[in-house]
Every structure is written in C-alpha cells, then in structure tokens.
Amino acid sequence: MDLIFYHPTFDAAWWIDALEKALPGAKVREWRSGDNDPADYALVWHPPVEMLAGRKLRAVFALGAGVDSILSQLQANPEMLDASIPLFRLEDTGMGLQMQEYAVSQVLHWFRRFDDYQALKNERRWQPLAEYAREDFTVGIMGAGVLGAKVAESLLAWGFPLRCWSRSRKDWPGVRSFAGREELSAFLSQTRVLINLLPNTPETVGIINGSLLAQLQDNAYVLNLARGVHVNEEDLLAALNGGKLKGAMLDVYSREPLPADSPLWQHPRVAMTPHIAAVTRPPEAIAYISQTIARLQRGEAVAGGVDRVRGY
C-alpha cells in the first residue's frame, strides 16, 4: 500500500515516520512535482492540481476540518479528482476540544464583562459594573456539525440558553434547534452571542452581513471560528460603530494574513487571533487516518466522507 503526502508547512519526515508506524507495511512518500508513480491514498493540504490529477486513488484525506480549498480547485479543474474517489476531512481529531476551549473562554469573557473592565482599566477608572443576567445571555451557534455539537456541549454546563441553526434540524438535549432560511430570523432575534461554525459553501459566503447582524439582539457579540468569507467585514465594522454590536472576536478573515491596513487591527472592540482556534493535532490525525484506511482496506463503512455538492 502506497501513500503520498503533501502539506506546505508540516514536517513531512515526521508524518511519514508516524504513518508508517501506524500502518505496518505501508510505504509513505512526500509528493514532489513530477512524481507520477502510483499511489493508493493521498494526504493533502492545499495540494497542487498536478498531484491528484489523473490518479487512481482509493481515497484522499484533507489534513484539516475544511475542504474548501480542494473543492474550489475542483471547480476550476474538474479533472483534478475523479468523482468516484472518496474525499475525507478530519472531523475532530482534537479540534473539538480546542473549539470548546476557545468558545467557552470567550463567552465567559463577555458575560463577566471583562471587555468592559479592560476598557475601564485603559482609562484608569475603578468602577464595578452591573452583572449580566445569564437567562438574557442566549448563545446561538450557526453550524451544527461535529464542531458545533462540541461547542454546544461545552456551553451547556455554564447554564446559558442555547440555540443552533443549520441546514437540517438537530435533536440536541438542552439546545433549541432552528433549520433552514425560513427560521433564520427567529434564531437571530433572541441571540446575544453569535458563534459561527458554518461550513464554507456558496450558500454561506457573506452570510454574516448587515442584514443578518441587524436581526440580533442589541449589544450582541460575534465570534467567528469558521471562515473569513462568511463575514462581510465592512458590515461588521458598521454594526460595531453604530452600536448594534458590542464586540467581536475573530480568528479568521477574508484575507490571511490580515493586511496591515485593515481597520480591524485598530478597532477597540475587535479582538483577534491568527487562525489558531483549532489546529490539526498530528497524533490524533494520524490515529484517525490510519484507522480509516484500515477500515477502507477491509471494505468497511467509514465516517468523515465529504459531500462534494454540499461542500462538507
């Protein structure tokens, strides 16, 4: 069994060694331009078209939770990957816990008014503030996939009213579910903290715009943990400057790295991190990939397959 590996920044030697240990008998090589030798599986992140084009593979594994880069390449180059070849993504592999840490810490930061206390600190003002009521601090999660479920699960323990919105209705204990465009307004109308964990699809690009933000509760917060293309950054800034939004925490952006002249850098009520909310944890990823390949080799059903039409 032969595997080819490509990632623009990962340590290929480490991954090759770990994969060969996890898959006894497998031969793993780093793909380089001009390598057209046969392979059974490909492990990739932002792969060049020539790496996959024309190959008869048993499956391709994206080394992250998102597959939008591969799908966008496929739109421009349909010959890159035959429709019969399964495409898998890393559904969790340690990312769920990281998303839980990030979301819970930020929701609590806003709920305990630490953003306001930081502003007071900058003004050298000693001023205790009135507490927020937990029952009025509804958290709404857009995107109800594996990571959305993990974030909802972690927030339940803190007693916040929770709701989710997705393509199809969910049956999560303690979480009110909304589904489809016809229920989006109802979902937004009582949401104080909006957490975005949507997949990147043509239907979700630019979904967090002025019209959507206007439907949130006054003094709402936005936490974007999905993709930068989901948010119209000009509309987000307008909602902050106009007083509709009280704050935003962003991990992803329309352009990455974020240009130095972006007004997001200087806005006092925008907090930012450089796309680190949930990164690929190699040991967990190796375990998932090796177990999935072993099941595929035995002809068993496996989870994590991507629907190329839906985009996730």
pLDDT digits (tens, 9 = 90+) for 62-74: 999 889 889 989 9
3-state secondary structure of 29: strand
Amino acid type, 255: R
pLDDT at position 153 = 98
pLDDT at position 66 = 84
pLDDT at position 304 = 78
pLDDT at position 109 = 98
Residue 227 annotated to the active site: yes
pLDDT digits (tens, 9 = 90+) for 163-209: 999 999 999 999 999 999 999 999 999 999 999 999 999 999 999 99
pLDDT digits (tens, 9 = 90+) for 136-154: 999 999 999 999 999 999 9
Residue 128 has pLDDT above 90, yes or no: yes
pLDDT at position 69 = 85
pLDDT at position 5 = 98
pLDDT at position 309 = 85
pLDDT at position 92 = 84
pLDDT at position 91 = 82
- The sign one gets for the Cα dihedral 168, 193, 206, 70 is negative
CA dist., res. 198 & res. 145, Å (int):
8
Closest to 10 measured CA to CA, from 46, 51, 55, 49: 46
Q: Considering 89, 167, 192, 227, which one is annotated as catalytic?
A: 227
pLDDT at position 36 = 95
Q: How confident is the model at residue 53 (pLDDT cuts 50, 70, 90)?
A: very high
pLDDT at position 68 = 87
* 24 upstream amide cis, omega within 30 of 0: no
Tokens 């390598």 map to which residue? Answer: 35
Q: How confident is the model at residue 20 (pLDDT cuts 50, 70, 90)?
A: very high
Instruction: List, in order of start, the domains of the chain with CATH numbers.
Output: 2-91+280-298 (3.40.50.720), 95-272 (3.40.50.720)
pLDDT digits (tens, 9 = 90+) for 249-306: 999 999 999 999 999 999 999 999 999 999 999 999 999 999 999 999 999 999 779 9
pLDDT at position 312 = 87
Mean pLDDT of the chain, nearest integer: 96
Q: Considering 176, 275, 281, 308, which one is annotated as catalytic?
A: 275
Q: How confident is the model at residue 46 (pLDDT cuts 50, 70, 90)?
A: very high
pLDDT at position 310 = 87
Amino acid type, 253: Y
Helices (H), 128-227: 146-156, 184-189, 210-213
pLDDT digits (tens, 9 = 90+) for 23-45: 999 999 999 999 999 999 999 99
Residue 109 annotated to the active site: no
pLDDT digits (tens, 9 = 90+) for 87-109: 999 988 899 999 999 999 999 99
Residue 311 has pLDDT above 90, yes or no: no
pLDDT at position 65 = 86
Cα 124 → chain centroid: 37
pLDDT at position 40 = 98
Residue 110 has pLDDT above 90, yes or no: yes
Write the DSSP assignment of 79-126 as a string of letters: GGS-TTS-EE--S-TTHHHHHHHHHHHHHHHHHTTHHHHHHHHHTT--
